[in-house]
Chains A and B, each alone.
Chain A
Amino acid sequence: MTNCTPTQCTPTETGTVTRTQAQPTRVDIVELENEFRVDADVPGASKDDVDVRFENGVLSFSATLPEPAAAHPKTHLREFSGRRTEREFRLGDSIDTDAITARVEHGVLSIRLPKAERAQPRKIEIQ
């Protein structure tokens, strides 16, 4: 028995504590005929620095971005730093959740979310 109210027990609340320290990941989302594509900025991160999950209808991803090259004595500009970034989305039931795939390349996490067959456009034969 967990010690929380029903609202707090929903997936939307998972991980709230860490989230307050993480920056939201910037994303592009494109809908194609058969799938959704999510590209998320994880500059400096390789595959091992990124975590992608699908749990209780929620797609979540987080990454630990490495600290850039050693800081030198005099700092002139500091517009980014090593940090934790994360974001999560609730998926509708139009996604084939078993077929979700993800890869990391050039500091971008790309997630493909195929639509379930029943959600794809279908041409109806006229009898």
Chain B
Amino acid sequence: MLVRRNFFPAPAPAFDHSLDRLFRDVFDGFAPQTEAATERGIQLNASESDEAYHVDAELPGFAEKDVEVTVIGKELRIEARQEENSEKIEGKVLRRERLSGTASRTLRFPLEIEASEVTARFENGVLNVTLPKAKAVLPRKIQIQG
């Protein structure tokens, strides 16, 4: 026999997006709903000035040692790798929306990069990479001889 139990006595009002219903339920002692983990990759911003490309990557929760930045030819590869948090192994995971484990992203630029002059900075979970364009491809102003 099918027994229906009304776990939510009052329907949530339509405007009640704010409260995370799942988590509220968890804390009220109901079993968590099973829901496929939200897949997400590394979020990037990339822009360009006359001399260089600039790339920012969001990597919250990763430490500097977890992040590898590689430049080969015209390509930038950002790879983040993290050991699984032991608490998450021991505990009961109720919600997993954040990026974890291993993630990577590769960007290909139209112009050659001066690989030896690429700099990277990592602060508060955000990576900034500056990739100077190869000198050979930079625009050069030519003096007109009089």
Return the chain B residue nearest A30 by Cβ: B91
B44 to chain A, nearest CB (A): 5
A120 to chain B, nearest CB (A): 13
> What's the Cα separation between A29 and B27 when bound, in Å?
11
Among B23, B49, B53, B63, chain A packs the most CB atoms within 10 A around the CB of: B23
Known contacts A15-B18, A80-B43; is-contact A30 B92 (Cβ 8 Å): yes
Q: Are B23 and A73 interface neighbours, CB within 8 A?
A: no
Return the chain A residue nearest B123 by Cβ: A44
Q: Does B97 lie at the interface of the complex (its beta carbon under 8 Å from any beta carbon of A)?
A: yes
Which range contains the number of B residues in contact with the other chain? 35 or more
- Cβ contacts under 8 Å, A77 to chain B: 44-46, 107
Q: Are B13 and A7 interface neighbours, CB within 8 A?
A: yes
Q: Are B125 and A106 interface neighbours, CB within 8 A?
A: yes
- Cβ contacts under 8 Å, B83 to chain A: none
> What's the Cα separation between A13 and B15 when bound, in Å?
9
Select which of B27, B46, B50, B98 is within 8 A of A27 by beta carbon.
Answer: B98
14 residue pairs of the A-B complex, CB under 8 angstroms, read A7-B13, A12-B16, A13-B16, A13-B18, A16-B15, A26-B40, A41-B125, A44-B125, A68-B56, A71-B45, A76-B46, A76-B47, A77-B107, A108-B61
Q: Which 3 A-B pairs have the closest CB atoms?
A: A107-B125, A107-B60, A72-B47
A interface residues with partner B (beta carbon < 8 Å): 7, 12-13, 15-16, 19, 26-32, 36-37, 39, 41-46, 58, 68-69, 71-81, 87-92, 94-95, 106-108
